[in-house]
Amino acid sequence: MAASNNVAVLGASGIGKFHARDLQANGCDVVAILGSSPQTAEATAENLKEFNVNAKPFHHLPTLLQQDLNGVSVCTPPEQHSTMVEKCLEAGLHVMCEKPFVFDGDVNAPRAQALVDLAKKKGKVLAVNTQWPSILPQLPVPSPLKAFSMYMEPCGRDARTHIIEAVPHMNSLLLKLLPSGKVENLTVEVGQLTTIAFDWAYPGGPCKVKFELVGKEERPRAFKITFNDDEYVRELGENYEQSLVCKGQNFPIKDPLTESIKRFVEAMGGGQPLVTTEEIVQNVSIMDQIVANL
């Protein structure tokens, strides 16, 4: 890591509290958090003490960015991501952003590419928390891969929110498995079960892709992934130990969020984040195409 291990979390009350937990557990010092008001920032800072995080609360980003920081996690609402990522990169910080990376309007890939270019110009790590590729080393993925599907139960009240919440994760796995492809024959069917289907045209393809989403507020939420005819279903232990089960065989996996944060911390010290910047931009491009079909 760089000389300073100090990091901040922008929006640390939802998924951000787990960013703070895992950043602290992986050798960083979470010294600041950003809230939407003085009251929420102070309440969140107090709640983070359960993770041994003693962060100073802020509600004004320019003031927070004046602190001695090396990196930041952006966990604010999606419509704020790109602006906050840009300001943090301009301030010379490494950035981990929650998914979706950029969701400003109807076409977001050019904005995503501009932020990737800015990170390269500044010599800073830019990562996105699409964590599920971390499971791939634990699974016997078949080759050639002719069919790939995922089922998730994201929170949210409507199909658009479900897609924003879950599909970046699904895209990230596809891109890690089969890079350098493009979407063809896309269909989106919205209902109690939202189904996204397309052909992924890649040099060894095509691969039939299907994403299925059902909204669910309460936990636990189901997770399934299928490679060709092999379906893996997530099972959770008493202490949130995770494994994927396929045809009676158990494949233990490490917590994907924790692994994603760990790789970001390693990248700040010269390693590689879980997801490449090329994959980040491709992911946003696929999202643009899917949302355009709603």
For the chain, which residues make up each domain, given as ranges?
6-129+260-275, 132-255+286-292
Interhelix angle 109-122/277-292, rounded to 10 degrees, is 170
CB atoms within 10 A of CB 236: 13
pLDDT in tens, 143-159: 999 999 999 999 988 99
Q: What number is the average pLDDT over the span 50-66?
A: 97
In the numeric block, which tokens belong to residue 59? 């509600």
pLDDT at 1 over 80: no
pLDDT band at 59 (very low <50, low <70, confident <90, very high): very high
What CA–CA distance (Å, rounded) separates 294 from 288?
10
pLDDT at residue 113 in the model: 98
Q: Read off the pLDDT of each residue in 11-32 and give the average, rounded to a whole number.
A: 97
Q: Averaged over 41-48, what is the pLDDT?
A: 97
- Intrachain domains 6-129+260-275 and 132-255+286-292 with the same fold: no
pLDDT tens, position by position, 230-249 = 999 999 998 889 999 999 99
Residues for the chain: how many in total?
294
Q: What is the mean pLDDT of residues 15-29?
A: 97
Single-letter amino acid, residue 96: M
β-strand partners of 175: none
pLDDT grade, residue 41 (50/70/90)? very high
Separation of alpha carbons 182 and 204, rounded Å: 12
The closest of 23, 38, 16, 9 to 267, measured between CA atoms, is 23
Level-2 CATH architecture, domain 6-129+260-275: 3-Layer(aba) Sandwich (3.40)
- With beta carbons less than 8 A apart as the criterion, state whether 74 and 95 touch: yes
Tell me: pLDDT of 99 over 50.
Answer: yes
Distances (CA, A) of 160 to 15, 132, 156, 190: 19, 21, 9, 9
Q: If you average pLDDT over residues 70-95, what whole number do you get?
A: 97
Tell me the mean pLDDT in the region 150-178.
95
Report whether 69 contacts 4 (CB < 8 A): yes
Q: DSSP state, 36?
A: S
CATH, domain range 132-255+286-292:
3.30.360
Residue 219 confidence class, pLDDT cut points 50, 70, 90: confident
- Specify the pLDDT at position 151: 98
Single pTM value for the model: 0.95
Using CA atoms, how far apart are residues 53 and 44, in angstroms rounded to an integer?
11
Give the integer Cα–Cα distance in Å for 5 and 30.
8
Confidence of residue 3 (pLDDT cuts 50, 70, 90): very low
